[in-house]
Chains A and B, each alone.
Chain A
Amino acid sequence: MKIGLTTYSLDNKDFREQLSSMLKNGIKPDFIIRHYGGIHKFAKRINFLRRTIKQRRLKTISFLSSYRKKKPIQVTYKLNDEDSKQVNDFISTTKIITVKGINHVSTIQTIKGLGEVIIACNSGKLNSEVIGVSSAIFLNVHASKLPMYRGMNNVEWALWENNEIYCTIHRISKGIDEGDILLQEKIEVDTSKLKSISDYRAFCFFKRNELMGKAISGFLDKRLLFTKQDTLGNPLAQYYTMHPILKEYLNKKLKGN
């Protein structure tokens, strides 16, 4: 079975960490699919920039701007030099397939041509045509104890509700974070080092990415099997972007105020 990863940039942090985790577990992906968002993605970024400038000028979210100014130095979690070098060396020798967009027709044809594959994703929302490509298994890593906290801001919601943070490797399906679960593990958090939402996110996402290699290795050895999730289709099982006021209170709580 062939194994591959998708990413829109070879410098993407999540992609590099997931690739490193695979290499550490003795899995050498056969290919990397690099997809560009195209003009839409560019336009989206320009629009985001435009809106941010406008918001700052009008001071409609002045409290957020002030939060940004006062933001403490973030505890960074990233690959060490050795792991980073290993990733760079691997990328320089592996097959890179460039496609127009992850949901583009050319991508479907490319994946079809690859035969039976496992694809670890870091690519945004996939449409059902891509997911339905014959015999391809798409995996996603999600920082929560699925089926809890499907959707957005999962780390924040778990912290708000004083729950432990888990991460889950699951199959991508039509519903958001509703696919069968391959591996689920608790993230041990050192609360003395983490004092803000961004600290927690950086730490949890780093730990989350480390799990990908273990999950794929377990699946290939048939030690891990997919299990179904419950509460499918329940709108309240899915979590949405946390309101900035709630985020502000959560940050205060994490700082111990």
Chain B
Amino acid sequence: MIRSILGYAKNFSISLLFTKERSIVLKDFKRFCLGQKVLNNQTVNPWSDKIYNEEERAKALDKAVNWLLHSQDSMSDAGFGSYHIINKWTTSYVETSGYIVQTLLDYARREKNNDIIKRMIESGDWLVSIQKPSGGWQGEYIADNRAEVVFNTGQVIRGLLEVYKQTNDKKYLDSATKSCDWLCSIQEEEDYWQKFAFRGVPRVYDSYVDAPMLLTYQITKNEIYKEKVLKNLYWIIDKKQLENGWFEDCDNTIKRNAKPILHTIAYTIDGLLECGMILNDKKIIDAAIKSADKLFELFNKHKFLNGRYNRNWKGSQDIICTGCAQTAIIWLKLFKLTKNIQYLNAAMKMNDILIFIQDRGVNESKNTNGAMPGSYPIWGRYEPFSFPNWATKYFADSLLLEKECLKEAVELSK
């Protein structure tokens, strides 16, 4: 507690006195603390009257992509780092570099941008070059030189499979296959991952590892991948999902496991949904829908989602931008699956909030312009005073998918 207060005091004073980003902190103070009003016993949130048209949404997407590219330019390798207002740029984060490749390749293909495609292939080469002899990839930042971690490995597979799809070069597939073999070899008898798991504890958000393993299965037809994935998915659904859709063992900490963050809840749901859709398995899809619908209900009731939820879905903590963008992605995927326009409608409203957060309206350097903060306001408990690259990645994903879904919805409505 005392350490936390001291940390905040330090961060506030340094960011306000000695950094160029003080305008961002002050802006968030102005719009969050002074922009919130209570009328008729109801809280009017500062974003509640913000609506962005399609042109503004496209601009927000371009800004997010440009920031991701600037993040890559700021690294000494082909990976992607995050920016902290006080500590400045980190080194490349291996896990997120993997799934950012997926996002930027998607964007580059749509925009027919060969320069970005070239850069992503270089990122793919870099990821292959840092693969551990076991087949896994290290946790956290490259400079930390940590041991391989299950979840992080899964996310690098996503990027490599996209680069393989783009280049048809077998080295990327071989690298992904090697890591899947490693993941299969270390899965526990109880159908979860514990060895090489983050903090050495089994977690349900490994469903987000199952999905890239299934994507590898689709290419290689190696049945062992599918078998291990199904075992893990059924462990999550049968043993860890409550009747109300909440998940046990869902947080990436041990201390706060009773109130997981939206970020990891969304990983879990997205992993289940993606796997269910690949396998066309109703039980898995229904499990994902159960939790996604709960978030849908909460969002429509409160007009935003909290950072953490306990087993009764009681929310706490400020907005975690990554989790919000991921939830919007889940709803957009559900729109594609069910054609229920309400999912798209909710996702568009969520993206309005995220664009409002990104659109700070202050003069910013390239280091922050277009980036999504970890929390809103920026001093929120999750990644305070920081712009983690994964928040911007999911924001870009959400806008890309929204555009696609909107087109589909308009066609369906004709």
- Please give the residue numbers on chain A whose beta carbons come within 8 Å of chain B beta carbons, in ascending order: 40-41, 43-44, 47, 51, 55, 60-64, 157, 160-162, 235-236, 238-240, 242-246, 249-250, 253
Query: Which residues of chain A come closer than 8 Å to B169, judged between CB atoms?
Result: none
User: Considering the complex, which residues of chain B in the window 336-365 have a beta carbon less than 8 Å from any beta carbon of chain A?
Assistant: 340-342, 344-346, 348-349, 352
Contact among B40, B54, B352 for A44, CB-based, below 8 A: B40
Complex CA distance for A63 and B52, rounded to whole angstroms: 9
Min CB–CB distance B305 → chain A (angstroms):
14
B49 touches A240 (CB 8 A): no
Inter-chain contact A235/B406, CB cutoff 8 Å: no
Contact among A47, A239, A250 with B39 in the assembled complex (CB-CB below 8 Å): A47
Q: Which residue of B lies closest to A40 (CB)?
A: B40
Cα distance, A236 to B40, chains bound together (Å):
27
Within 8 A of A (CB), among B49-89: 49-55
Say whether A161 contacts B53, CB under 8 Å: no
Q: Would A245 and B53 count as touching, CB distance under 8 A?
A: yes
Q: B52 to chain A: which residues have CB within 8 Å?
A: 60
Let me know if B221 is at the binding interface, CB within 8 A.
no
Contacting pair B342 A236 (CB below 8 A)? yes
Beyond A240-B342, A243-B349, 5 additional contacts (C-beta under 8 Å) are A41-B40, A55-B49, A160-B341, A243-B352, A245-B348
Query: Which residues of chain A come closer than 8 Å to B414, judged between CB atoms?
Result: 253
Nearest Cβ distance between residue B65 and chain A, in whole angstroms? 21
Stretch at the interface among B18-26, B121-129, B189-197, B292-300: B292-300
B278 contacts the other chain (CB 8 A) = no
Once the chains are docked, how many angstroms separate the CA of A244 from the CA of B49?
A: 11
Picked from A51, A238, A246, A249, the residue with its CB within 8 Å of the CB of B49 is A51
CB neighbours (8 Å) of A160 from chain B are 341, 413
- Give every chain A residue within 8 A of B41 (Cβ-Cβ): 40
Bound form: Cα–Cα A243–B332 in Å: 14
Q: A40-B39, A47-B44, A249-B413 are in contact. Are A242 and B345 (CB under 8 A)?
A: yes
State the majority secondary structure of interface residues on B: helix
Which B residues touch A250, using CB under 8 A?
413
> Which of the residues B49, B54, B342, B349 comes within 8 Å of A239, measured between beta carbons?
B342
Which one of A47, A62, A253 lies within 8 Å of B413 (CB-CB)? A253
Q: Would you list 17 pairs from A and B whose C-beta atoms are within 8 A, ordered by A residue?
A: A47-B39, A51-B49, A60-B51, A64-B51, A157-B341, A160-B413, A161-B341, A161-B413, A235-B293, A235-B297, A235-B300, A236-B293, A240-B346, A243-B352, A246-B348, A246-B409, A253-B413
Question: When the two chains form their complex, are residues B53 and A62 in contact, meaning their CB atoms are under 8 A apart?
Answer: yes
In the complex, whether B37 has a CB less than 8 A from a CB of chain A is yes
- Chain A nearest Cβ from B213, distance in angstroms: 31
Residue B2 at the chain A interface, CB threshold 8 Å: no
Q: How far is the CB of B197 from chain A (nearest CB, A)?
A: 33
Which residue of the partner chain B has the closest CB to A152? B300
Given contacts A40-B40, A44-B40, contact A243 B413 (CB under 8 A): no
Once bound together, how far apart are the Cα atoms of A44 and B346, in whole Å? 25
